[in-house]
Amino acid sequence: MIDAAPNANALSFEFMEGSLTFLAIALAVTLPRLGESVFAPIERAFSALARRRTLAVVVVGLSNLVLRLSTLPWLPIPKPFVPDDFSFLLAADTFAHFRLTNPTPALWQHFESLQIDILPTYCSMYFPAGGMVLAFGQLFLGHPWFGLLLVTAVTASAITWMLQAWLPSRWALLGGLIFVLRLGLFSYWINTYTGAAMIAVLGGALVFGAFPRLKRHLRHRDALLLALGIVILLLSRPYEGLLLCLPILVALIHWIYRKRPDPGILLRRAALPIVLILAGVSWLGYYDKVAFGSPTTLPYTINRQMYAMAPYYIWQHSRPEPVYRHQNLRDFYFQDEQNTVSKIATNFAIVTTKKAFVGIRYFTGFLLMLPLILIHRVFRDRRTRLLTIGLLLLACGMFIEIFLIPHYLAPFAAAFYALGLQAMRHLRAWNPGGRSLVRWITVSIVLLAAVRPFGPQLGIVIPKFPVSTWAANWFGPGDFGRERAAVAAQLNNLPGRHIVFVRYAPHHEPMDEWIANAADIPSAKVLWVQEMSAAENEQLLRQYPGRSVWLVQPDASPVELQPLAAPQ
């Protein structure tokens, strides 16, 4: 879970952003007209591009794609290292082999891992949309990450398109580019394999962008995009998706009651979108039946019942401790999660405030917090009132949850940007100093984006753990997971098939996962398994014969493969 208090060593990029924030304030206050001759022509050219709305949408998406590819020499394709990464990659491998799930492997106790279901079938614990994105990349683009990159580029375009429905064109273009420079290039949403985050952003942008257009024109295209956004949210983050869709549904009913459109036209526009939504619900039910044994058993449910003690909502009580066969699982569920529950019970107000700060900081950093001094004016704007109501409903939904990680908020990312940009509009119109401040905020964002790929060369180190040092910030993770990737490459270059016993140290970091396997375990070249008793280990080796046997200790320095003797 996210701890709102970051490690002091992780403040380097935050220090740079904080310094630029104070510099922007100082320049706006003391020299409000500085750079006027430079900014004015740039803004005119920017506005000319923004008025070509379709071109602006395409440019933002292509910018995300080209810029992230151009940074690969410094920020390479991410390596999986946290449990969520391996869980989504398992889903991708499963779907890429045209299966919904996999049979439980023999002697499954050796294959237990965080965020992965082992019973009644072997699959990811998460909703399927993220795995489907990665499977597309695996099947058609040569690597799962390229599926995530492509969806991120489409999402950047969708956010720009959504903002065009709520704000003037130049502000929509600015918002799309800010999304690219912050979340589309460097956040953990693009630089880990938590693929459901970006697809959920896309779903929310489609819903928020299609609704005002549907009210204005009642076009079939907008109704279909609205339905598509709902289905994406259903298959990625349905709880937050429900919070998003409730005010949209109420507003749609209110609009129908007031405008009373022709019933025939309304029925024709609604028929196919309703079929699409019902198809999405039916497919999810079928997936749940195949993977978890019942169409009403949602993802997460089986995994939480089997392993977790901590509840999800503040009125629930912790469950009794289950039987943990491996210390790293107990450390995560009993110590890490229960520690958060204990903090909620004893310091509810403080923990809730920290949760709110984590969510806001992820989208704003320090620079984009400045326009929020005028957020009270945004709350009075009728134009964006529906978005405000949506975010207030989201706040209520997060208030009653124990945990908050920034990707929980992904469906509302477009709404966050819309209201933040509206605050920037108020700030720019406030006085000459406000206009100057908005300009310098934008310049600072561009400068930070230019510096971020060269962090290691500049001596800026992002600690790998705790996760809060990078997951709650715009600058995202570093090039982590190298040790396991190197061992995996070594094994893949050796002839034959292999089985690797993983021996964790007593105080191993649970989020540093090494137990992760392909979808088809019996035919996999390498099996990563939990080390258990000598008798249990020998039984496993007899179950999967003909493999070279190795031991790896992830907490050793250096990490090395040690050969073991296989049973005769």
Residues contacting residue 414 through CB under 8 Å, at least 6 positions apart: 158, 159, 162, 163, 201, 204, 205, 208, 209
DSSP codes joined into one string, 403-434: ---GGGGGGGHHHHHHHHHHHHHHHHHH-HHH
Cis amide linkage into residue 73, ω under 30° from 0 = no
Rounded Cα gap, residues 362 and 384, in angstroms: 22
Tokens at residue 508, please?
A: 């191993």
212-216 long-range CB contacts below 8 Å, 24 or more apart? 212/165, 212/166, 213/165, 214/252, 215/252, 215/255
- Displacement of CA 197 from its chain's centroid (Å): 3
Rounded Cα gap, residues 117 and 298, in angstroms: 12
Cis amide linkage into residue 120, ω under 30° from 0 = yes
Tokens at residue 32, please?
A: 């409000």
- In order of 192, 365, 387, 460, 469, the CA distances from 10 in angstroms are 18, 14, 33, 9, 6
Residues contacting residue 169 through CB under 8 Å, at least 6 positions apart: 47, 50, 51, 53, 56
Q: H/E element holding 49?
A: helix 36-51
Residue 224 burial (C-beta neighbours within 10 Å; 0-12, 13-18, 19+) = middle
Q: How many domains does the chain have?
A: 1
Q: How many residues are present in the chain?
A: 568
3-state class of 568 per DSSP? coil
Pick from 537, 530, 531, 532: nearest CA to 516: 530
Rounded Cα gap, residues 241 and 96, in angstroms: 26
- In order of 152, 413, 483, the CA distances from 96 in angstroms are 20, 29, 26
| Tally of helices (H runs) and strands (E runs) in the chain | 23, 6
Rounded Cα gap, residues 154 and 62, in angstroms: 9
In a domain, 176, yes or no: no
- Displacement of CA 66 from its chain's centroid (Å): 21
In a domain, 143, yes or no: no
- In order of 273, 456, 562, the CA distances from 558 in angstroms are 56, 21, 12
Per the structure, the complete domain to which residue 559 belongs is given by 482-564
- The pLDDT value recorded for residue 2 is 45
3-state class of 28 per DSSP? helix
Rounded Cα gap, residues 329 and 276, in angstroms: 39
Residues contacting residue 109 through CB under 8 Å, at least 6 positions apart: 325, 530, 532, 536
In a domain, 229, yes or no: no
Rounded Cα gap, residues 100 and 91, in angstroms: 8
Is residue 234 a contact partner of residue 241, using CB atoms and an 8 Å limit?
yes
In a domain, 242, yes or no: no
Is residue 175 a contact partner of residue 417, using CB atoms and an 8 Å limit?
yes
User: Strand (E) positions, 45-145?
Assistant: 116-117, 123-124
- The pLDDT value recorded for residue 335 is 84
In a domain, 540, yes or no: yes
Q: Which amino acid is at 12?
A: S
Cis amide linkage into residue 456, ω under 30° from 0 = no
Rounded Cα gap, residues 150 and 59, in angstroms: 14
Q: Maximum distance among all alpha carbons in the chain?
A: 82
In a domain, 232, yes or no: no
In a domain, 495, yes or no: yes
Residue 561 burial (C-beta neighbours within 10 Å; 0-12, 13-18, 19+) = middle
The model's pTM: 0.95
Rounded Cα gap, residues 18 and 157, in angstroms: 29
Q: Please list the alpha-helical segments (H only) found in 218-310.
A: 220-236, 238-259, 263-292, 301-307
DSSP codes joined into one string, 440-497: HHHHHHHHHHHHGGGTTTTT----SSSTHHHHTSTT---S--HHHHHHHHHHHTSSSE
- The pLDDT value recorded for residue 442 is 97
Tokens at residue 452, please?
A: 């971020």
In a domain, 553, yes or no: yes
pLDDT digits (tens, 9 = 90+) for 91-102: 999 999 999 999
Q: Which residue ranges of the chain lie beneath pLDDT 70?
A: 1-11, 195, 567-568
